[in-house]
Amino acid sequence: MPEATVYLCDDLPPATPGLIDDLIRRLPSDRAARCRAYQSRRDQVSCAVSYLLLASALRERRGLTEVGPFAYGPHGKPALADHPGIHFNLSHCPTGIVVVVADQPIGADIEAIRPVDWDVARRVCSGREWYELTCAANPAATFARIWTDRESFVKCRGGSLAEALRCDLPEQGFHRLATPAYHMSVFTDQPDPTWTLVRTRGLSAQRGS
């Protein structure tokens, strides 16, 4: 039976310059440069922690002592060049980080709950989704679910953002978590995977259910 382990971090400490420096010192040079490229301190912390969480997940679930090197698909989806049978995906936003490790292709996305940009929503939503969105009691949360579903589906397939705006989504294959601060969606094509959720507190992972 296919398995997928979802690591979720939504309780990061304040993004101080000292914390950022400490985290980035623990990263390989290419990831450190990527983190430094973010203008927001919170995004720098999220970028660094997502990589360190991936490293921890691969060590815990697959016994790997190193993350790299990465290989990249046509639209930039990363993969482990030396371990093609191990799949992962990650995403971060100002309110949370998700890292997924699986034995089948996987896609993940997490988005903060924020006011709906209705022009974007018109371009993204199918007719059914548009109706659902315009009738929703909480449009912001509803659109976050629609968007993360599309992102996770396309990321699983290794597709482009343009595909996310026009694809038809399947009814099954999604694993979701909604909170007042964010919505997370994880997608796999494999039927009935065994999902394990590992919640983190700060920078320490603790297993959840």
In this prediction, residues 125-148 reach a mean pLDDT of 95
Give the pLDDT band (50/70/90) at residue 203: low
Predicted pLDDT at 208: 38
Task: Quick: pLDDT tens for 140-177.
Answer: 999 999 999 999 999 999 887 777 776 778 888 999 99
- Residue-wise pLDDT for 45-69, tens only, equals 999 999 999 999 999 989 998 887 8
Q: How far apart are CA 120 and CA 79, in angstroms?
A: 30
DSSP state of 189: S
The rounded mean pLDDT for the chain is 89
Separation between Cα atoms, residue 29 and residue 174, nearest integer Å: 34
At residue 209, the pLDDT reads 33
Tokens at 129, concatenated: 């989704």
What's residue 168's pLDDT? 78
Question: Is residue 71 over pLDDT 70?
Answer: yes
Q: Given this model, what pLDDT does residue 205 score?
A: 42
This prediction has a pTM of: 0.90
Yes or no: say if 55 and 67 are a contact pair by the CB < 8 Å rule: yes
Average pLDDT over residues 116-141: 94
Give the pLDDT confidence of 5-42 residue by residue, as tens digits: 999 999 888 899 999 999 999 999 989 999 999 999 99
The confidence score (pLDDT) of residue 138 equals 97
Which domains occur in the chain, in start order?
3-207 (3.90.470.20)
Secondary structure letter of residue 12 according to DSSP:
P
Q: CA-to-CA distance for 84 and 100, rounded, in angstroms?
A: 15
Please name the residues in contact with 70: beta carbons below 8 A apart, sequence gap of 6 or more: 78, 79, 80, 81
